[in-house]
Amino acid sequence: MFATRLPATSDDYRRLAERRLPRFLFDYIDGGANDEQTLTANQRDFQSLRLRQRVLRDVRQVDTRCTLFGQAARMPLALAPLGLAGLYGRRGEAQAARAASTAGVPFSLSTVGICALAEVHAASAQPCWFQLYMLRDREVVLRLLQRAWASGCKTLLFTVDLAVAGIRHRDTRNGMLNQGWRGKLARASQLAARPGWLLDVGLLGKPHHFGNLTDCVADPKDLTAFKAWLDSQFDAGVTWQDILWLRQHWPGTLILKGLLEVDDALRALDCGADGIVLSNHGGRQLDGVASTIHQLPAVAAALDGRLPILLDGGVRSGVDILKALALGAQGVLIGRPWAWALAGAGQTGVEQLLAGLQRELVVAMALCGVQTLAQVDASLVG
């Protein structure tokens, strides 16, 4: 009789996802830009930090509860927005939103998610956060803002680090970017190697169009037309003036996602942002930039509590969450880990991943001698 190895960590779910996803989809979420130096640094720099263990402290009642932008959460974590998540699991964004609601943490829906806002909100007991890019067609931006607000979404994550798309060599190698016969043949062979995915997601998970953008192209089922429209919409001319325009049109919480430098964080404050996400897009944009945990202390010192900071990139454990909080973040986003868990084990996998992260955070806090998040500060990091 063979023993079954149960997943316990983010890396365990990554291995499950690699076995179950077609190669081009696994590489899309797993890979980074160019030589993937920043992708590697995001995790490596977390690992290089050392916590200080404290003993003989009363840690009988460790409490990870907090409030993230007015929303009560059981721990200082939210699920990051991920494009195409509905291809990692059947109606994936809806599954992940239900898991986040069960775990008591916010879920963020990407503009280019497969499931639409209405479907995600119908699936979850709590309204999601919504992620948006500045598109060339400002009328489309306004429609999306109005739709998000009308559906009950009050928190907007606005991504600012995608003036142009980064170069991701894995997507070239596996044929994802090639619309010719070679690319189609490569993708077909990868799909044929994953019959379970083909049935569960490929057939039963339809429709596979971008749910929030179905009114932007004539035929929502034509993914090639969708891609051409999206490629034409990313605006390399966006400036801080556009953020001021956005602030005028969005009455809810505005969080700018994709800042790394102190001067940009201070500009976000001046433009009326309610918070920032310190992020290098998971190492998927400019390779060779610093990791987010490396940048965090300087940005936190410059803002000096005037703007909440969420950290995105490299968080793989509850220990990592504690390190980010100690260096000045109010919370973290996780992206790849929940995508791997969704692909590997569906909604149950995401729920178990989140429960595991909370347990790890509780244990790390207890062994560092703190009971509440308010007691976490830089003295915990050596």
Q: Which residue range(s) make up the domain with 137?
A: 10-380
Q: How many domains does the chain have?
A: 1
Q: What is the pLDDT of residues 188-240, one digit of tens each?
A: 999 999 999 999 999 999 999 899 998 887 777 776 777 788 888 888 999 99
Backbone angles phi, psi at 270, to 5 degrees: -65, -30
Task: Give a yes or no: residue 2 inside a domain.
Answer: no
pLDDT digits (tens, 9 = 90+) for 60-75: 999 999 999 999 999 9
Q: Which one-letter amino acid corresponds to residue 288?
A: G
The answer to whether residue 4 sits within a structural domain is no
* 262: amino acid identity, one letter: V
Query: Of residues 121, 169, 249, 281, which has the active-site annotation?
Result: 281
Helix (H) or strand (E) holding 130: strand 129-132
Residue 113 pLDDT class (50, 70, 90 cuts)? very high
pLDDT, mean of residues 25-38: 97
Average pLDDT over residues 301-329: 98
- CA distance readout (Å), 180 to 219, 228, 241, 271, 329: 21, 15, 40, 44, 45
In a domain? residue 305: yes
Give the type of residue at 45: D
Residue 344 located in a structural domain: yes
What's the mean per-residue pLDDT of the chain? 95
Rounded mean pLDDT of 365-376?
98
Q: Which residues of 273-286 are buried (b: 16+ CB within 10 A; e: fewer)?
A: bbbbbbbbbbbbbb
Count Cβ atoms below 10 Å from residue 152 Cβ, excluding itself: 11
The 8-class DSSP code of residue 291 comes to: P
Beta bridge partners, 159, equal: 257
Q: Can you give the pTM of this predicted structure?
A: 0.96
Specify whether 281 is catalytic.
yes
Q: Tell me the CATH number at 314.
A: 3.20.20.70
Mean pLDDT of 176-187: 86
- Please report the pLDDT score of residue 2 as a whole number: 45
- Percentage of the chain surpassing pLDDT 90? 88
What's the confidence (pLDDT) of residue 1? 40
DSSP, res 371:
S
Is 3 inside any structural domain? Answer: no
Q: What six digits make up the tokens of 272?
A: 């009326």
User: Rounded to the nearest 5 degrees, what angle is found at the Cα of 177, between the Cα atoms of 172 and 181?
Assistant: 100
